[in-house]
Structure 1
Amino acid sequence: MCFSATASFIVGGSLISVGALTLKLAKEKRELGFALIPLLFGIQQIIEGTLWLSFHYDMPQLKTVMTYLFTMFSHVLWPIYVPFAVGLLETERWRLKAMWIFRLIGVSVSIHLLLLITLQPLTAVADHHIIYISPSLYEWPMMLLYIAATCLVSLFSSHRLIRVFGALAIVLFVIAYLFYTAAFFSVWCFFAAILSLIVYLFFKGRGSKQVT
């Protein structure tokens, strides 16, 4: 998490536990992608906790590795992963067709950001938050497409809780940017990690009416 190593490890460990429970609730193979989201966010928080330790104990090589690992999750994995995971749960044809647009956007965003991460300098600095620094990583046109792939796609789901997940993710993205501009990606990923508890509620409450 963006605030301390201890917080990152607590949140990460909790999400990994929740993720394991969520996976047990998944009944079909097509549900596994969405069920894995809390577990993946937990791993991402553990990575950032380790990054905090690299600052505390002056380990530059570990810092570099963890910086790249975190950004591979935050900038490369999620834009591809979320549209496909949400789409696999969809049964309504028009919604699934719409989600293919977001899948293509997500693939394009991930490839573009991967190139930036690998071809341009990338580093992280820590004060009260961790800030990931790269020359072109946060340009707004690409960030808008990023939001579309990771958040807006969920609003097209036929499942109420998935729509709630997407709507809250957009709100928290805006809050993170307005109040934590320099470190907003780290802060938003923390918010999104906590938000992934909705994934557990989605599977836990599958017996109740969720499709409208």
Structure 2
Amino acid sequence: MCFSAPASFTAAAVLLGLGTVTMRRARSRRELPYAAIPLLFGVQQLLEGMLWLTFPDRAPLLNVALTHLYSFFSHVLWPIYVPLAALALESVRWRRRVLVAIAVAGALVGLYLLAMLVKLPITARVVGQHILYDSPHFYVMTTMALYLIGTCASLMVSSHRRVAAFGVAAFVSAIAAYMFYATWFISVWCFFAAVLSFIVLWQFREPRARLAVP
């Protein structure tokens, strides 16, 4: 979490517990990728909690390693993983076609950001009680647009109303994070999205027939 180590570890514990519940409630293998989202957010928050402990200059090498591990989640994993999780859930043919296209876009932006992480290493530092990730890369607006398509639009396309609601909530939280925490956007939006992953549990609380639309 973007505010302190204890907050990050608390969020991680809650999300790991939530992820365990959602994984157990998944009714089929195709639901497992979506059900695992809170679990993955829990791991990401755990990494950021550990990163907090490396400031200021307590463990420089560990700081670099944790910064890159966290950034793998934030920059690479999510735009690739989320469209695939939504695609695995989807049964409506035209929506699957759209999700395949979005998955390609998500993979492209994820691989591009991975290349940038290797070429232009990211750094993390505490600024104003938040972790600021300095993440240099080119084509910022195009990259952000494709990233939001991969992480938010892919969920909005879903025929499952509650999956689509997660996508809308994630998009709104991205706007809020940028408006109020632009300097710390990466850390703050990841926290907002992690909290919103409680919506994943909502998907598994009622019979499947009530959750889908054509």
TM-score normalized by structure 2?
A: 0.95
Deviation at 1:208, TM superposition (A): 7.0
Structure 1 residue 137, shift from structure 2 partner: 6.6
Structure 1 residues 124, 137: CA separation in 2 closer, same or farther (over 3 Å shift)?
farther
Q: 1:153: Cα distance to partner?
A: 1.1
Distance 1:138 1:191 in 2: 25
The residue type paired with residue 124 of structure 1 is A
Matched residue, 1:37: 37
Question: What is the aligned partner in structure 2 of residue 121 from structure 1?
Answer: 121
Q: Determine helix, strand or coil for the equivalent of 1:204.
A: coil
- 5 Å-filtered alignment, 1:160-171, equals 160-171=161-172
Distance in 2 (CA, whole Å) between partners of 1:173 and 1:204 is 26
Q: Secondary structure at the match of 1:131?
A: strand
Render the CA deviation track for 1:35-70: whole Å, top value 9, x for unaligned.
100000000000000000111571111110110000
Partner of 1:156: 157
| Larger deviation, residues 97-106 vs 198-207 | 198-207
Match of 1:147 in 2: 148
SS in 2 for 1:8: helix
**Residue correspondences, number:** 212
Q: 1:207 to 1:135 in 2, by over 3 A?
A: closer
1:205 CA drift (Å): 2.7
1:86 paired residue number: 86
| Identity between Structure 1 and Structure 2 (%) | 45
Q: For 1:143 and 1:42, how far apart are their aligned partners in 2?
A: 23
**Structure 2: how far apart are the matches of 1:208 and 1:158?**
11
Indicate if the aligned counterparts of 1:95 and 1:156 stay in contact, CA closer than 8 A: yes
Pairwise CA distance, 1:192: 0.3
1:1-212 equivalent positions in 2, closer than 5 A: 1-56=1-56, 58-127=58-127, 128-136=129-137, 139-206=140-207, 209-212=210-213
C-alpha distance in 2, partners of 1:158/1:91?
Answer: 8
Residues 84 and 103 in structure 1, CA contact (< 8 A), matched pair in contact too = yes
Distance 1:121 1:207 in 2: 44
Distance 1:3 1:137, change over 3 A: farther
Structure-2 change in CA distance of 1:138 and 1:39 (3 Å): farther
Aligned partner of residue 182 in structure 2, secondary structure:
coil
CA RMSD after TM alignment: 1.4
Distance 1:77 1:58 in 2: 28
Q: Residues 37 and 83 of structure 1: is their aligned pair in 2 closer, same or farther, counting only changes over 3 Å? A: same
Q: Matched residues in 2 for 1:118 and 1:178: separation? A: 29
Q: Matches of 1:19 and 1:206 in 2, distance apart? A: 19
Secondary structure of the 1:2 match is coil
Provide the C-alpha distance between the structure 1 equivalents of 2:65 and 2:4, rounded to a whole number of angstroms. 18
Q: Deviations over 1:165-212 (max 9, x none)?
A: 000101000110111111011000000001111111111233672123
1:121 deviates by: 2.8
What secondary structure is seen at the aligned counterpart in 2 of 1:116? helix
Q: Which runs of 5+ in 2 are unaligned?
A: none
Q: Whole-Å Cα distance in 2 between the matches of residues 137 and 39 of structure 1?
A: 31
